[in-house]
Each structure stands twice: as structure tokens, then as C-alpha cells.
Amino acid sequence: MRKFKRGILKKKNSKPKAGYVNQRLAEAHGFLQTGRLRDAEIACKDVLGRNPRHAGAFTMLASISLMSGNNRAALDFSRRAAAINPSDENNYINMGLASFNLNNHDEAISHYLAALNINNNNPLTHYNLGNAYKLKEDYQSAIEAYEAAVRLRPGYFKAYNNLGNAYKACGNPYKAVDCFKKTIELNPDIAEAHNNLGTGYVLLGELKKAENCFNTTLELQPGDHGALAGLAGIFEKKKDYARAYELVAPVLKKNTSGVNAPIATVYAVICSSMDKQNEAIEIITEVLEKTAYTPEEKRSLHFHLGRLYDEIKMYDKAFYHYFQANRLKNVQFSPEANLDKYKALIDTFHSDVSGTTSTNMSRLPIFIVGMPRSGTSLVEQILASHPQVHGAGELNDISLMVRSLPDLLSTVIKYPGCMDSVSTEQLDDLAEKYLEMLKSKTDNPQITRVTDKMPANFEHLGFIQRLLPKAVVIHCTRDPLDTCLSCYFQDFSGWLPYTYDLKKLGIAYRQYEHLMAFWRDVIQIPMLEVRYEDMVNKQEEVSRELVAHCGLEWDDSCLEFYKSDRIVHTASTHQVRKPIYTKSAGRWNNYEKHLGSLKEGLGIIPDVII
């Protein structure tokens, strides 16, 4: 009897058998797979009751907590698991997911990178990393992460879809469209992908294709708010305001809680076109209060409210919403780094602007450059009204070229330093590719000139001279305060980080002026300087100068540019639909009391402590 009792005691004090622990853990996994979260939790805690340092049980409890929506518990369990077993990537993945769900995107990125340090071949981790970068609006890093995901898993349609969204957000609709097409090829039943493809086609001006995509979305998902917003946006661009309004107004008036952000933003645009600003202000203000939007969506709605208040001349309220919008932009801009970039351009092209040059003498391209919001869209619309000119809009091909030059030249020296290595043959090849791209924008045999209205090409005038020595340049200028304020009032789809802070915006403007002063001294391709204020006050005189500068005969249609059916996708879309008006000149006076930091940046007043 004593032996038996001793045996019992001995059995109680012995370590639990590995078989029992593994069995309970397997049971927990099965419960997890079938959604029996409570049973899975009991099984894991049973394991920990027998082995308090069982990393696998903590890892599974983290997964259970994530599925239950308890992200803080998931973080705690994952950290405890990682402390015991730091080589398990799943612990860092779970920490990343929990941090992401808690909107701690920097922490999520750190955890995903730790997981990839253990295993860099997990496409899901790259995908999750891309999602975290995307919500931080670090779109270039998001693109790299999503591309790694699809490289590792070629059929990863969700990653292709988000990759397209990232390309669209950083101003590359061509790449975005390719990604959305690939998503649909892999899974044609995803309504979101058809809707996204529609938004991409809108940015490319292919409105019929866009309309087909939105209709397909509605077939797959009747009543989809994104597709309704897309169709309304197309009707608004076609000036069919009543039809656009009928699509979205009932959605907003029925329920302002949980309204899709694109519905609200397109509604604001439509109401602006129909002089229903007060109606839009009331509803969008209510929508913002009742709906949990992402910072990006909130920013967009604040920008629209700012515009609506500006249109009814309530300038203090307008500035309040513009300020709220800009502070929601998660972006960094270093004036020092920007100045270093411009110094490198000046150092390179000071003695090398007439170095090795392409032999291509094409006169097809017209480059319209300047600061954003300086009148570049108006200049393009005037020229595009000429029967021999096609307006191609803002093209990023030149900036992509200069970025890819080091790879082309097989050098580690970045642009512009690598320019001394480029050959005539390489420039000829690049010039031909650029011209082929321009030609692909139109099939009209009358066209002899095509505009590239990328304002930021002012940075690349030295390269453009060597690439296409017979091209012409039009440099648009405008009152610095009006230019900068207009930039501050616009949420740019591309990457213009200096526009979200008034003081940095002023500094960036001065740096741009410094670079342009250099180009005036050294470049030899013909450049016409056009002041916005002259354009609105002396329309015909300036328009004739523009046409003559491009080597074309005058055509009266250039004076009626606003009658063109051409779709404009920049922030100036409403201005170019109307005859020239002067109210945008001197606009800064309406906001003068808010512009102290901008004036400091521009050097108009000395720096003071605010």
C-alpha cells in the first residue's frame, strides 16, 4: 500500500509527458481552425498549467486573441512567446498584426521587419508590411513590399490589388491599371478590383472604359458606394451635374453614418459645380462626425470642406479645414536635403549642360514646367485647343528616366552625377522611347506637338536639353503667396511633401526660384516665361505668344479653350472649364492673417518664434 501511495506521489511530482502536451496543443489548433476559440483557449491554458514556459501555447493564445479582437492580449502573449523562442517568425507576425490593428503602424513595421529577418520568403509578411507602409502613406516602401509578395507568390491577387492602389496613390496610374488588370485576371469576381480599375482609367482619361468597370462592379456588388461614386465622378467631368447628383445625393441624405468616403468627396465636387455649397457643408460635416474614417479619408473631406467654405467666402472656416487637412498628412520634408539635391544639379550642369547630346532633333515635345498651381494647366488647355496640339497631361516619364540612369549606365553614381558617363547612343535610345510614348497618347494625324505638363520637370531642364535639344519649354510663374497658398489648399496625389507645411512650402519655393535662375543662365533650348497674372489680364496677347513659341500658326480656338471636351485630371479641372477670370490673382489677401509662417519661409518677413 505504501509503495502504491509513494508511486502516486511520485507520479504527481513528475514532469508532464510531452505526448499529453502535444495532444492538447493539437486539439487547440483544431479548435482554432473550426472557430471554437473558447475551447482552444482552455486547451492552451491547460498546456501552460503544466509547462508555464511553453512558447507554442503563448503563440496560439496570441492567434486566438487576434481572432477575438483582443489586440492588447495578442501583443502580450506574442511578447512572452518571443522571449522564450525568439527564432519563431510567427510571434513577430502576430505582434505586427496586433500593432497594426491598434493603429501603431511604426511598431507594426518594426515587427514585420523582425519576422522577415528570420524568414524573408514569406509573401504574407511582405503583404502585411506593405499594408502598414501604405497606411503611413509611405507608398514607395509599400510598393517594394507588395512587389516582394507577388514575386514570391505570383497568384497573390490581394497583393496585386494593393500594389495598384499604392501606385495610384503616388501618381502612377499606368502601373496601377496594370496591377488591377492582373488582379482581375487572377480573380475576376472581386468587385473591388473592378472598381479600382475604373478609378485608374479615370486618371488616364479613358472614361468609357472606367464606366464599364464601375458597371461591372455594380453587377458583382449591387449598390456599391465606390462604383456609384465613380460613375457620378464621370458624369461630373462630362458636366452632367444633375445625373451625377441623382446618383449620390440619396445615399448621403438617407444615412450620414458609415458613408463611403469617395461618395462624400464626389458629392462635395458636384455640389460645388451646382452652387449647392451650403448643402454639402452641412452633410459632409455630419458625415465626418458620425463615421470612423482613416486619416487619409478625413484629410480628403477636410480639403473639400475648405474649398466649399472658400467658395462662399467664409475664409476663416475655410482655413481651419485646410489646416486640419494638412496636419493629417503623414509626411516629412527636409529643406536641407532638397537644397543638396539642387546643388548637385547645379554642380553637374554648370559645366556640362552642353555635354554629350542626343542627335534626335524632334520638335514634338512641349514641356510646361513650374511650381504646382502656377498656371500650367491653363497653359496646356490653351495649347491643347489648337488643332495641331495634343495635351498629354502630367507625365512622369522624365523623372523615371533620370532615376533609372544609374542602372542603365551600370554605375553606383546616382543622377545627376552619372551624367558624365552617358553616351550619345544611350541618349538617342532614351529620346526615341520618350517620343514613342508621346505618340501613343493620340492617333490624330493632324497632331505635330504634344505637351508634357509635369510641373516638377523644372528640376530636369538640363537633362531635357541633352535628351531633346529641339524641344521647347514654357515656364509658368505666379505670385509666390498665391502659388504657395494654392499648393497648401490642394491634396496632391503624387509625392510633394513640401506642400503640407506653410513655412517649408515657402522655403521650397525659394529653392525652386534659385534653381530656375541657374537654368536661365545655362540652358540653350528655347524657354518662354509666362506669368499667370499676365495670362488672365492679357489673354489673347499671351496666348498668341504661347502658340508662336511652339512654332505654330495662330488658331482662334485657343481663345475658347474652355469649350474643349478634353478631360483635365489636375486640381485645375474646374478653372479650365470656364473662361479666364481674375479672382484667383491676389487670393492670398483673403487669408493674410494666417500666413505668417509662409511669409517667413518665403523670406518676406524675418524668422520669429510663433
Q: For residue range 84-131, what is the model confidence (pLDDT) as tens digits?
A: 999 999 999 999 999 999 999 999 999 999 999 999 999 999 999 999
User: Mean pLDDT across the stretch 237-263?
Assistant: 89
For 325-401, strand residue ranges (E) read: 365-370, 389-391
Q: Residue 580's pLDDT is what?
A: 65
CB 212 within 8 A of CB 206: no
Percent of the chain exceeding pLDDT 70 equals 92
User: Mean pLDDT across the stretch 446-464?
Assistant: 96
Q: What is the DSSP letter of 238?
A: T
Query: Which ranges of 170-239 does DSSP label H, i.e. alpha helix?
Result: 173-186, 191-203, 207-220, 225-237
Q: Residue 292's pLDDT is what?
A: 86
Over the stretch 61-86, which tens digit does the pLDDT of each residue have?
A: 999 999 999 999 999 999 999 999 99
pLDDT-based confidence at residue 496 (cuts at 50, 70, 90)? confident
The answer to whether residue 397 scores a pLDDT higher than 60 is yes
Q: Residue 573's pLDDT is what?
A: 52
Over the stretch 475-487, which tens digit does the pLDDT of each residue have?
A: 999 999 999 999 9
Q: Can you tell me which residue has the cell 499594408?
A: 131
Question: Phi/psi of residue 452, each to 5°?
Answer: -120, 105
pLDDT-based confidence at residue 564 (cuts at 50, 70, 90)? low
Q: Residue 2's pLDDT is what?
A: 41
For 395-491, strand residue ranges (E) read: 449-452, 472-477
pLDDT-based confidence at residue 35 (cuts at 50, 70, 90)? confident
Cell of 535: 495670362
For residue 35, count CB atoms less than 10 angstroms from its CB and return exposed for 0-12, middle for 13-18, buried for 19 or more.
exposed
The answer to whether residue 610 scores a pLDDT higher than 70 is no
Sign of the torsion formed by the C-alpha atoms of 91, 128, 133 and 293: negative
CB 346 within 8 A of CB 520: no
For residue 344, count CB atoms less than 10 angstroms from its CB and return exposed for 0-12, middle for 13-18, buried for 19 or more.
middle
The span from the CA of 105 to the CA of 515, in Å, is 37
Using alpha carbons, list the distances in angstroms from residue 551 to 250, 366, 388, 507: 51, 11, 11, 36
Highest CATH level, class, for 223-330: mainly alpha
Q: What is the DSSP letter of 609?
A: -
Q: Residue 10's pLDDT is what?
A: 40
Q: Can you tell me which residue has the cell 505570383?
A: 154
pLDDT-based confidence at residue 591 (cuts at 50, 70, 90)? very high
Over the stretch 565-580, which tens digit does the pLDDT of each residue have?
A: 655 545 445 554 455 6
pLDDT-based confidence at residue 371 (cuts at 50, 70, 90)? very high
The helix (run of H) or strand (run of E) holding residue 530 is strand 527-531
pLDDT-based confidence at residue 136 (cuts at 50, 70, 90)? confident
For the chain, what is the mean pLDDT? 90
The answer to whether residue 171 scores a pLDDT higher than 90 is no
The answer to whether residue 294 scores a pLDDT higher than 80 is yes
Cell of 127: 503583404
Right CATH for 335-602 from 3.40.1260.10, 2.130.10.10, 3.40.50.300, 2.40.30.10: 3.40.50.300
Q: Distance of alpha carbon 66 from its chain centroid, rounded?
A: 30
User: Mean pLDDT across the stretch 238-248?
Assistant: 94
Q: Which of 250-259, 517-526, 574-583 has the lowest mean pLDDT?
A: 574-583
User: Mean pLDDT across the stretch 346-363?
Assistant: 85
Cell of 151: 514575386
The answer to whether residue 494 scores a pLDDT higher than 70 is no
**So where are the chain's domains?**
223-330, 335-602
The span from the CA of 207 to the CA of 209, in Å, is 5
User: Mean pLDDT across the stretch 388-403?
Assistant: 93
Q: Residue 352's pLDDT is what?
A: 56
For residue 174, count CB atoms less than 10 angstroms from its CB and return exposed for 0-12, middle for 13-18, buried for 19 or more.
middle
Q: What is the DSSP letter of 469?
A: T
- Exposure string over 577-604, b if 16+ CB within 10 A, otherwise e: beebeeebbebbeebeebbebbbbbbee
Percent of the chain exceeding pLDDT 90 equals 75
For the beta sheet containing 527-531, the strands, ordered from the edge strand earlier in sequence to the opposite edge, are: 389-391, 449-452, 365-370, 472-477, 527-531
User: Mean pLDDT across the stretch 528-554?
Assistant: 96
What single string gives the DSSP state of each residue in 123-140? Answer: HHHHHHHHHHHHHTT-HH
